[in-house]
Each structure stands twice: as C-alpha cells, then as structure tokens.
Structure 1
Amino acid sequence: MSDNIQKDTQVILCDMCTEEDRKPARKTCRKCEISMCVQHLQTHLTTPILLQTHPLTDPMALCGTTKCPQHGKLLEYYCLDDLTCVCVSCAIEDQHRLHNMKTFSTAHKELMEKLNAEQQALLVKTDDENVSLEKWEKSEREKLGRSSVRLIEAVTNLRDIALTSVQSSVSARMVSIKTSKSSIQAAQKEKDSFRFLQMYSQVHQDVEKAKAADLRKGLEPGSDRDKLVQEIRQKGEKMVKQADHLCGSLLSLVDPENHQELVATSSDLIFDPQIFGPSMSLSTDNRKVFYSSWLGQCSATLLLRSTQTVPNFQRWIISLSQDSDWTIGLCDKQSAKNLKDGHVYGLCCKGNQLSSLTKEFDDCCDASVKPQGFGLLKADMTKTEQKQCKVSSELVTYQDMNGDEAVPQLEKVEVFWNFPASTLSFFNRTGQYQREEIITIKMSINNWDLVPFVQVIKENGQNVSQHQWQCPCGKTYRKNGNQYSDRRRAFSHQSYCSCGAFIGGICTTEMVCELV
C-alpha cells in the first residue's frame, strides 16, 4: 500500500486538464512553467515558434525555478565556475560574463563525464583504502591488544603476589589463634589442680599471642615485608606507565589531531635565549630557566628550537612560575629580540590576569620596519615604511568547573599550533591527558617566519633596586661596582654579613620556566 502511495506522489499531472480529470503529464515547458499531457502538448509540438523558443523537459515540479530571480528571464545557461544556472543577461552583462558558460545540454554532458571519472577514481581509491584500512585495523587491534594483555598480566601478577603473601602471613597468625584454642580446651579438661597450674603458664602465653594477632594488619614487619613493598612500588610504577601508554594510544585513535604524541617532549626541544637578564640562567639541557638574584626586575625572551619538523601542527607544554609575568606564543623570528617590531600572537599573564595578544602588520610591508611610535617619526618614514600595525588585546575570562569566574592557576600551559587552519590554541594542562581550553587565536595568512617563544618577567618581591643587595636576614647593602656598603662602612669583595651570609652572593634560586 505504501509503495502505491509513493508512486502516486511522484506522478506529475497535467496543469491544463480540469481538476476532475487530470491526466499524467508527458512534458514540462520551462518557459511556460506548466506540465502538459499528450493532448495539451500538441500545440507546443506543432507550432514552429514554440518548438524553437519553449524548451521541453521530462515532467518535473518547477515551483518557479525556471526563471532568473534577478532578471525574470528564462534560465538557459550553466556557469561552471559558480555551479549555477543563469539567464542570458547574467551571462552577457553581469557577474558571470567572464565565466565559463555552457548550454544545459553541453554542461550536462561534461559534468556527467566528470562524475563518471570521479566515480571511477573513487572506486579505485575505495578498493585501495579498504585494503589499507584492513591492514591498519589489524595493526591497531594487535598493538592495543598487546598493550592490554601486558597491562592485565602485570596487574594480575602483582595482585597474586600481594594476596598470596598476605594470605600466608594471615595463615601464620591464624595458627596462633588455633593453638590458643587447643591450649584453653586442654586446660579446661584438666581436673588436677597441680597439673592445671603447671599448664597455665603456657596457656597464658598462647592466649596473649593470639590476642596480639591482628588479621587486618597485612604482613608482619620485617625484611620480607620491606622487600615486597619495594617490589610492589617498582611494578606499580611500570603498570602506571603501561596504563598511560594504553590511554594515550586510545586517545590518539579516536581524536588523533588533539591527542597525537607530544612533539619534542625530550631533548629535541630546547630554549634559545634572545634576551637574557643577568639574574637568569639556563640548565645544562637548555630546558629550564632559573631566577637566582635579589636584584629588581629581570626578564628573559627565549625561542623554542627543535630539530624535528612537523608538517601540520606543533605542540609544546611549558611549566611557569606562579609569581612571574609571562607571554607565550608565536613571534616573528627576525624580531625576537624586540617583540615590538614584528608579528606576535600570544597569551599574556600579568598579575594573575590573562589576556590574548595579536599584533600584525600589513602584508605589503616589511615587518622589520618599525611602525610609528617605536622610534621613527611619521615625517621621517617613507611611504613604504608607513605601514599599518594592528594590535588587539582582550582579557580572557577564565571559568572554573562550576562556571564561575576564577583567578587562573596555570602551572602548565599547552600550546597547539595548527598550520593548515592558521590557529594558535592555549590550554590549561590539569593532568597528563586532561586539559581545559583557554582561548584560540585565528591568525592571518602571511609569509612571515613565525617561531614559538616565551617571555618571562620576574620581579623581586622585596622591591630592592638593582643598586642594592638584600641578605636573607633582611639587611640591605648598597652596591657600587663590585663593592658593597651599609650605612657605617664599606666591605671588601669577600666579606660576610653579621648573620654569616656571603655579601653579594646568590641568596635564592627558583625555576621560573620549564619545557615539559
């Protein structure tokens, strides 16, 4: 029944027949926008002018789609550039006049040939992809299967070792309880007072030992317990790594773009200092930045350099000090020593306030030329140098898990640079596989050589000027060259404070930035 109804709904009826006796249409006139049965079609077939100017098609529901909405003329051509039907005015006078125009029959033929070719290509690709997909699925299934089996075996083995050891220890303690019960029963059966009193001392010892036995304590203290604890810790750490690896593999499988194996997480990603304050220092592996002075404000600007090249994206994670101001993101490599001179896309933290920063120059001008306000007067600049510098900065509203606005506590910031999409995303890394998106910056497409960078500004909480040195005990010394003095006298190069600290020595050392 449903099939008959569907067939009836597809039948196009003659628009010229009476409502009581409408016959199925044989043709549709696109110019008249009517469908006609065999009888009413005769006029179009026998009148020469109608045959020439009124195109007929198989019966179709037109609904006013045969006329140009702009010019009201019949749609007669197809624009291959815009993939749309147009009238003669569109083809000759308006926006389509320089486009590749075809008649409907020609366009139909060419596009049909194109579809056939694409269908053939897809068939070949599908066959190839099916083979590749089968191989990939088998490989992934085997890889994940091996990881799962190793993890299950490790967990089962560790569980059996722990349970067996505890069970043996508990069984040993159960013996003392059974022994005490046997001793009590033997003593209760003894009727002779002398023999009972001789037995009581041993019975008392067995009872006290049984009373001291705690079946819930685990293993008894000793070398066996210490050895087993060490074994559980070592195997437990191995299991955690195996579980992390399996979790990472599953995340990469279902969301490969956002959970690829982190790029440059070892020695291949290092800091390349561009500006380095006197109180800043690098670790030997060039992956940690330390602040170690009682001087005033000190800053460092560093590029992130890697020996690996990634075709589609780059990802890095930076651990930052809570009491430092910083900016991380991308900058123009040629202007890294002066971020005012080039493109900058970044996330800034100043006084626990987050903000995004976008600074772009017109593509028609060289970014190495300083814009107005950075050392050159407009009157001194040539027309080429008078380029536009667009700077935008907006506060980032950061919300906690409850949706309330909160002060950001960003210990680790993950940065994701998507080359094809020209986007730079920042995330608050809360766990090995957990993160919260902070903001995504859309970058303009340009040819500038952008590189990852981090700028850290550390200010002494004691607010001591660069001409002073403050001892941990609180006493302040004035610095003049390599000499130090207090209100009473000057001190030699190797003098000590009254508290015993070396004057001018490094008082504190803290890490302000690290590549994770």
Structure 2
Amino acid sequence: MSENIKMDLQTVLCDMCTEDRKPAKKTCMKCEISMCVQHLQAHLTTPVLLQTHPLTEPMALCGNTKCSQHGKLLEYYCLDDMTCVCVSCAIEDQHRLHNMKTFSTAHKELLEKLKAEQLILQEKTDDENVSLEKWEQSEREKLGRCSVRLIEAVTKLRDISLTSVQSSVSARMVSLKTSKSSLEAAQKEKDTFSFLQMYSQVQQDVEKAKAVDLSKGLEPGSHRDKLVEEMRQNGEKMVKQASQLWGSLLTLVDPEHHQELVPTGSDTIFEPQSLGPGMSLSTDNRKVFHSQWMKFCSSCLFLIKSTLPVPDFKRWVISISKDCDWTIGVCDDTYATSMKDGNVYGLRCQVTTGFCPTGCGWAESNSHHVFPGSSWRWPRVSSF
C-alpha cells in the first residue's frame, strides 16, 4: 500500500544526462528515472515501453512508488479506499472487488468530481449569505419597534446575541473556507501522484463543508450553555415588556434547542362586545376577570384585536386559570357581527381532566374569540 510521496519542490533534472543535466520532461514510474525530451523518445516510440511503463509529471522519487506490502509498482488507484495500489493489491487482496482506475483515468474523474462539488458548495455559500442578509434585515425591523423604556436592557441582550450568532456562523463557515482552499489547491496540482495522494484529505474537507447547517446553531458545549444561561438571566429582567425580543434572540442563537420558546407581543388585546355579570377587563385589556361568587357565567364574546395599524400576528395563545373550567371558541367575523350565522369551533377543558390550561391556534387578525365557562379569572392573551 502507498504512503505519502515526498516531492522535491525544486526542478527535477534528467537522470540520464551525464554532463549538462537538462530539466526532466517525464518520470517513468517503472524505471524510476526522470528523463528530458531527448532521452524520453525511447519510451514514447517503443510500443512495449509505451504500454507498460507509466509516465508522470517530473517528480523526485523517494522510494515510495512501490507497494510496501508486495514490493510492486503502484499502478492503480482504488476509488473506494482512495489510495494507490499495485496489481497484486488490485487482483488478490482486499481491493480485488473495489472500483479500480488507472492513474490518468482516476485523475480525470476525480478532478471533475471536485469541480462539481465546488459548484455545489459555492451555491450553498451564496444561499447562506442571502439567508443571513434577510435575517439581519428582519431583526433590525423588530429592534426598531422596541420602546424607549427597553433601550438599555434590549441593547445589552442584543449585543450578547448578535456577537454570539456571528461567532457561531464564523466558526461554521471555517469548514466552507477550508474546503474551498483544498479544492483550489487540488485543481492546481498538475502532478498525478500528488493529486491522488491529497485527494483523500480534500474529500474529507468537502464532506465537512457539505454537512454545515446554519440552522442548527451552536454545537453542544460549555460555550453554548454559558451563552444560553446568560441570555436567560438578562431576558428575565425584561420579560414583561420584551418577551418577544427575548424569545426571538434565543431562537436565533440556538434554534435547535429553543424552538418551543414562544416569543409574544404586547399589541393584542381583548375588545369586549358584551360583558356578563361580574366580569371586567384589566387596565391593559389583556386580562378578563370574573367574580368568584358567580356560580355560572353565560357565554360572552371577546374579540382579540391588535393595537397596531396593520396587525401582523397569525398565531395566538390564551392562558386560563387552573382553578376553573373553560371553553374557547373560534368563529369568523360574520358570527362576531350577528352572533347568529356562521360556524363556531370550540375546545372545552375541565379541571378534573388534568389538561394544561393553555389554548393556542392559528387564525387571522380579528377572527378568534373566547367563550367562557364557569370561572373566577379569565384568560390572558398574547400573540406573535
């Protein structure tokens, strides 16, 4: 089996010139000599030599052109194991059932493969750059909507998160850059043996680059755990005013492990169409209350709306007290107007069932409503 062949970076001279040694044109692997144009003619004009003596670009031979196991000339390249082998390796030993190629054929095919993979990686790099640009634009718009009261807390959290995301992306982009350099170096290598010897490492670099996935975030480790914990501590200080920003940034830094952290907004409120006896709204119109002494409450309609000129939420979450039975209904605007026509889709939960007191779903703005069961405290609404 072959090992790495040490190449002389200086000009290789003809071994057959006796006095004024001229630069070699080719090296005969079987004769283990390098020849200038004049002395090469015998190998090019003699049919037997032309067929049985493989010629390569000029190279300084260091005794590693023969198989260490069989002592025979390395003449073939095993595509399965990505190594040079002799004829005995190819027909007798572990390589006999492998995909074998001559040096020239392997060089040509593998070079084409590298070019194709380089194109794929270039497209992947371009796509990731576009995604990062879109993410940056989206996050800047979100940050721009934050109130003045959150500037100090948001700035601190933003700096931590953006720095961490940038470090994470930079670390993962190293594989792409490394593979690009390896591909370029391999394609510039003219010597067949040198190319084949370095191909295995190039292929490893390419596979690592192809496995890069920016959506997975930071790899497990103390750095990620420390970062997430620091963001949690800072997020708790501003969760009442900026829970949407906090959840969004945690998801960006470590999306694989924080997809369930739901960022919420403060722009959605209850707009009561009718209030039953003993019912009231909080000052921010985000909580509905019902007096405990009321044993039963008839169904009442509450429209969830946005305080923004152009509502942008599509998903909503309603949290209900654990000490009550409740029913949530979803209807369209037609029913909200007349309360006669239209379908109503409801979800009921009783405390004894042990259901989690949270209802959530997807709906357009101004199209989802809450219908009460018997309770003393009503839902808090949030959207994102």
TM-score scaled to structure 2, two decimals? 0.38
Greater Rg by CA:
1
